[in-house]
Structure 1
Amino acid sequence: MTDTKTRIAAGLERAFAENGFAEPNIDSLREAAGVSLRTLYKYVPSREEMVLCALEHRHRRYMQFVFANVPATGKPALHTLFDRIAGWMASEAAHGCLFHAAVAAAPRDERLRTLLSKHKNEVAQAVADLSGLADRQGEITLIVEGLMQDWPLHGDEATKCAKNLGDLLMNGRGLG
């Protein structure tokens, strides 16, 4: 991705995260991207493309934030990952998942639904692989999604609950 496209994607992500998907008009999105209207449309030719561009950028940032340099495997890795997801929620997503918000704003947009599914599957697969629970991706998905949905209401208590559920899952598999 070029520097200009990365800057545009970061600005669009920020604008949608701060203002939702309905509120920002094209001029405010252009301003957030820090480019001219012509440049914005050169890289992302429609509002729909702007949303996808922002979410793809967010996906890359999230994966780096949560999964870079995870120490160990098994239960220590799982706890680290849950702490990092909570850290992301605290710093980047205090109002909930931007991917879910995008789909809620345009529920019939198949490209958004596909991107949401891809993001959630990649997250669950990475958590499952790093924790040694590769065959339990469904359960991992429920725990991660539960943590992300509950974190805005309960913060650290949600993280503690996710760790407890992860421990139960691991102990039931003899991986603890």
Structure 2
Amino acid sequence: MRQGSTTLELEATRERVLDAAEELYYGRGVQAVGMDAVRTASGVSLKRLYQLYPSKAALVEAYLRRRDARLLDGLARYVEAAPGPPEERVAAVFDWLYEWFSEPDYRGCAFINSYGELGATTPEVAAAARAHKEAFQRYLAGLVEAADLPAALAAQLALLAEGAITTAAISGTPEPARQARAAARVLMDAARGAVGPPL
């Protein structure tokens, strides 16, 4: 019984640390936040923090991996709930982006931000950022295939989404998601050889 409770306590401690890291890293930037700040925000001793994550790079990687899983899961749940034909699920990706961009604490893509700060010097961060972008494009590829559209469209849609993510962060408005959605409709219509009204 004690072993099980110890495992649960360890998992709860990990979650507290990752919650604190996510809030601090996403809100302030990775380089601006030291391990002391994560310790203080999480209420975990520095010794325990380093037992869980032996380096800042290990903590940043864990934060990014968890964020990846949560973002892609949230996106998939949102998209699967979209009514209509499969093309509407592609469009729903951009509706989800609009909602994300509208959140008051939106600061752009955590993966792009972290890569920009540490990607050149921290292979773990670069790998986590690449893995996330690849997983996102694979997800889009599945939607494209389900809509019976050309496979090459997935990379084009990913570029639209990435551009919208960055532009929304810089401009401070969610409108790039709507613009990217309209562009996605143009691409889908062109792929089908048809011209239709914007989504």
Matched, 1:61 2:78: no
Q: What TM-score do the two structures reach when normalised by structure 2?
A: 0.78
Q: Which amino acid aligns with 1:54?
A: Y
Q: Which has the larger radius of gyration?
A: 2
CA drift at 1:103: 1.3
Corresponding position: 1:140 with 2:157: yes
Alpha-carbon deviation of 1:94? 2.4
Which residue number corresponds to residue 88 of structure 1?
100
- Out of 111, 116, 125, the position equivalent to 1:112 is 125
Give the drift of 1:92: 7.1
The answer as to 2:44 corresponding to 1:44 is: no
| Residue 166 (1) aligns with residue 192 (2) | no
* C-alpha distance 40-92 of structure 1, shift in aligned 2 (>3 A): farther
Amino acid across the alignment from 2:102: A
- d(CA) in 2 for partners of 1:18 and 1:134? 38
The 8 Å contact of residues 10 and 57 in structure 1, kept in 2 or not, is answered as no
Cα deviation, residue 6, structure 1: 2.2
Instruction: String of CA shifts for 1:84-142, please: whole Å, max 9, x gaps.
Output: 12222332762221111111112232221121111011112212312435712211221
Change (3 A) 1:103 1:93: farther
* Aligned AA (2:188): M
Quote the residue 2:3 is aligned against.
none
Partner Cα separation in structure 1 for residue 112 and residue 182 of structure 2 = 25
- Deviation, structure 1 residue 2: 2.4
Query: Is residue 89–residue 143 contact of structure 2 (8 Å, CA) maintained in 1?
Result: yes
- Conservation of the 8 A alpha-carbon contact between 1:63 and 1:123: yes
Q: After superposing the two structures, state which structure 1 stretch, 145-154 or 130-139, moved more.
A: 130-139
Q: How many residues align?
A: 176
Q: Which stretches in structure 1 are left out of the alignment for 5+ residues?
A: none
Could you tell me how far apart the structure 1 residues matched to 2:66 and 2:19 are?
Answer: 7
Equivalent residue letter for 2:182: N
CA distance, structure 1, for counterparts of residue 11 and residue 70 of structure 2: 16
Structure 1 residue 173: Cα displacement: 2.1
| Amino-acid identity (%) | 22
- The answer for the alignment partner of 2:7 in structure 1 is none
